[in-house]
Structure 1
């Protein structure tokens, strides 16, 4: 049905958390999901190995740039969604995975370092659009956002992304204990013991809104303006914090 790739060349940007939230919410909606865990840290695979059996989920690991194309083409005909979690480093997998994607999601925290990692992904998308005529829909998702306050750095990143006409999801992924507990306990968000508490319900609502927005973008095939409409924003982002 669709291939969705999470990419940021800086580790710790929230890629795997976003990928896990999307995956488990899709499973909750009875979709069949294949995750390609291309991150050498294997955080998604480790979560999967410790989780209860999930018949509608499979996880592929130890993929490489030469093999990912074959794997994606085979899996997308067998599963409703293929979700790719890329390494948080510069990797040959980036160009291969991006070129196979129906939508690329770039998680960025409210800091200049995270923005730099996201900028490298957006640069590649811009290059493919201008030089090869390959326009790949993509969006930035703000991650690990403090739900109580908006920091000066986050405001600066949001403003600069908007000025460059880079599509940003309306739903940021908040910094919530429940999202960390998913990895600690190897459970989907809705299966956590505190899922019915006020804090747990807020986490579920956040995940629902995030996934619904992604599904709307993928199903409608919405195309976004190319990354970096005219110029790079890195010099400004580096001093935004």
Structure 2
């Protein structure tokens, strides 16, 4: 059975699709067969999929509440090792169905109080899916679009506030990098354009942490 990861947020603009693409392509380059299901209204992951030339990586567009369960089953039947679902912002039946099937719900959020409030709303939606599934569903927040260097007072306050809430949180943050914006134009990942660069190293650290979080589930 494939490991299924739902990437969700109650709002847009938090780097959700960028996170999906970076993790999916890293895993594909590491030898995993990865299928991305694009349920976001903007279909940016699907657009990237048309540009990309990576092996082991494909994107299925136009995922809706009507076809998401079938799409997950099809991806598994086609031999996917990992299925990553790019969900639309907000709450929806599509999100609930995807979370219900997920081994992990990854919640990207920026270091601002409004973003964190929306991330908490998303964790509450995971709780609803967990009640439906009647089994625990892992979830974790991922800081995104974090500027390199100096941390502002407000960002530090928000980060400390989340840490005090004891929410599951990735140790590594997704930094703000030009390479992450450029890949939507070029179809090339940071590991393809500059494999020894800071952007590629940042993605690798997050992806390896993701794999570590999935390992107990896969061995259960």
| Common fold by TM > 0.5 | yes
**Structure 1 alignment gaps of length 5 or more:** 223-241
Instruction: Give the deviation of 1:123 after TM superposition.
Output: 0.9
Deviations 1:83-107 (A, max 9, x none): 0001123322111111010001000
Distance 1:132 1:86, change over 3 A: closer
1:72 and 2:68 correspond: no
Aligned equivalent of 1:154 = 155
Aligned equivalent of 1:218 = 214
Instruction: Give the deviation of 1:55 after TM superposition.
Output: 3.5
Deviations 1:87-132 (A, max 9, x none): 1233221111110100010000011222232122111123444686
Aligned equivalent of 1:27 = 28
SS of residue matched to 1:181:
helix
Pick which of 116-125 and 3-12 moved more: 116-125
* Number of aligned positions between the proteins: 216
Structure with the greater alpha carbon radius of gyration: 1
**Structure 2 alignment gaps of length 5 or more:** none
What TM-score results when the alignment is normalised by the length of structure 2? 0.91
Deviations 1:169-190 (A, max 9, x none): 0000000111111112111222
Aligned equivalent of 2:168 = 167
Aligned ranges 1:220-235 → 2 under 5 Å: 220-221=216-217
Aligned ranges 1:1-241 → 2 under 5 Å: 1-52=2-53, 54-77=54-77, 78-129=79-130, 133-192=134-193, 195=194, 201-221=197-217
Tell me the distance in 2 between the aligned counterparts of 1:28 and 1:131: 35
Contact 1:125 1:135 in 2 (8 A): no
Task: Output the aligned Cα RMSD.
Answer: 1.8
Contact 1:9 1:88 in 2 (8 A): yes
Contact 1:107 1:143 in 2 (8 A): yes
Tell me the distance in 2 between the aligned counterparts of 1:27 and 1:207: 13
Tell me the distance in 2 between the aligned counterparts of 1:104 and 1:214: 11
Pick which of 7-16 and 63-72 moved more: 63-72
Deviations 1:162-213 (A, max 9, x none): 2222111000000011111111211122222xx16xxx61111111100000
Distance 1:213 1:41, change over 3 A: same
Structure 1 runs of 4+ aligned residues shifted over 3 Å read: 127-134
Instruction: Give the deviation of 1:28 after TM superposition.
Output: 1.3
